[in-house]
Amino acid sequence: MYQHVLPNNTDHIHANGHNVPTKAANNGTMCANGSLGAEGPEATETDSSGTGRMRKPLERNGSTQNDAVHLERRLGLFSGVALIVGTMIGSGIFVSPSGLLVRTGSVGVSFVIWLACGVLSLLGALAYAELGTMNTSSGAEWAYFMDAYGPAPAFLFSWVSTLVLKPSQMAIICLSFAQYAVEAFVTECDPPRGVVKMVALVAIVMILFVNCYSVNLGMAVQNVFTAAKLVAVVIVICGGAWKLMQGNTQHLSNAFNGPMPNVGAIATAFYTGLWAYDGWNNLNYVTEEIQNPSKNLPRSIIIGIPLVTLCYALINISYLAAMSPQEMIESEAVAVTFGNRILGAMAWLMPLSVTISTFGSANGTLFAAGRLCFAASREGHLLDILSYVHVRRLTPAPGLIFHSLIASAMVLHGTIDSLIDFFSFTAWIFYGGAMLALIVMRYTKPNYPRPYKVPIIIPVVVLVISIYLVAAPIFETPRIEYLYALLFIFAGLIFYVPFVKLGMTPRFMNKVTLFFQLLLEVVPTSSMAMFE
């Protein structure tokens, strides 16, 4: 059974307990950790930091002919757009509109912030397109931090993202999915919290099964659910247009009446709006599986994010054509209230559409999150088993299961509002770090090939805004939760120094890794590291 699970080659056991298959390469060099060095003068570049490290070619296939198992490039342009749009349009537009109105106190200001969030997401994604075409390895910020700053900051990102950011994002979406799914069957009172959480857990299990079973099935589900949610968006927009043609413009005509919100309120309002746009960087987590990423990554971003921004703007106008700002604030399910007023006997279509939308968003979130685990673990920053791939289905099953377990724990013990605030504050620390990484590498790696390059002003603007989004709430309304978030980030160093920097590994970990390897029928990929 052991030989059935492992590739048929020689296993090299590192001092830190990593199981790495070692192979001979055709016309290539053997790296110390079993990865294959690139050949030819154009395939590598010496790191400008002076360490003499050699980088792999940007446009990697992710495998060689002799590789026993690897992630395949299966995502084309349509699937890339579907992953971006399908992940971004989820629960946010159905949970966030009322929160944005509460924090701004103005219809006009909230609408401006919706548009500004779309523009900011587009600028950030364009900067990520340059980073993603420079380094086409999966892992997004983790890979870029490794390039720009080294292993310690990259580890802190994988530490926070794996344990908090990605699982909390999925937990929020699944809770929203469950809220709307149960709402369709409960009319006289609020849905029982226990039932909502059980439905959210069932959704996590279903999405986990889909993504563990097949990459093609996961993307097929994503494509179908993205198309379905766009139909739901069209229904809302058409209903709003009908109300506007009837002359219901009173809530839009005096949009900027009322006092202007303060600086801190605007920052927290941005958090709420940007949560609805989150997912704009998810395609960067799966670049090893994108066909021709140098072209399809920026194209998917340029098509997907403006489409989402347009949809959000028209949806908000439609909401305000059917209900007052106060009614939106008081509604627990804005889209359902909208459907009850516009669709009449067909009002059930609205909660159904929202559940479809949130399910598709959760599917895309887990699809991307599993690749972060895969990339970071492959470099030894997380447990080895999380970098393994199913021997037949070629899916990163251990990473997907790990994320789902943490998300399930958050579903059982968290609420949507508390999770959104913590997620937004912590996420923008790392988004800003990625912008700084791009700026740093313009100077430390000036000759590095950049198939797609943005004007330097774009990452500078996004970096300044991210600093504002992180700092403004701290100074305006200090809360102990912000300190907890920062302490949690740097607490990762407690694990980084002994287990990554010094390479210490408990003896029992080899047995644990082997147990799960046999249980899950997973194997390590042949290229176990991207950096030397």
* CATH code of 370's domain: 1.20.1740.10
Asked, for residue 326, whether it belongs to a domain, the answer is yes
Asked, for residue 122, whether it belongs to a domain, the answer is yes
Asked, for residue 510, whether it belongs to a domain, the answer is no
Provide the phi-psi class of 503: left if phi over 0, else alpha when psi is between -120 and 50, else beta.
left
Q: Which amino acid is at 509?
A: M
Helices 263-277, 92-104: axis angle to 10 degrees equals 170
pLDDT for the residue 439: 95
Q: Collect the ranges in the chain with pLDDT lower than 50.
A: 1-68, 527-532
Asked, for residue 270, whether it belongs to a domain, the answer is yes
Please report which helix (H) or strand (E) contains residue 308, including its range: helix 293-322
Asked, for residue 422, whether it belongs to a domain, the answer is yes
Domain, as residue range, for 410? 77-447+466-502
> Three-state DSSP class for 38?
coil
124 closest CA partner among 468, 428, 449, 471: 428
User: What count of Cα atoms within 13 Å lies in the side-chain half-sphere of residue 486?
Assistant: 7
Partner residues linked to 290 by β-bridges = 75
What is the value of pTM for the model shown? 0.77
Number of compact structural domains in the chain: 1
pLDDT for the residue 1: 39
pLDDT for the residue 417: 59
Cα–Cα dist 305/295, whole Å: 16
Given the DSSP bridges, would you call strands 54-55 and 19-22 parallel, antiparallel or unpaired?
unpaired
Cα–Cα dist 148/187, whole Å: 53
pLDDT for the residue 421: 61
pLDDT for the residue 71: 59
Given the DSSP bridges, would you call strands 10-13 and 19-22 parallel, antiparallel or unpaired?
antiparallel
Asked, for residue 215, whether it belongs to a domain, the answer is yes
Asked, for residue 202, whether it belongs to a domain, the answer is yes
Asked, for residue 336, whether it belongs to a domain, the answer is yes
pLDDT for the residue 416: 57
pLDDT for the residue 32: 33
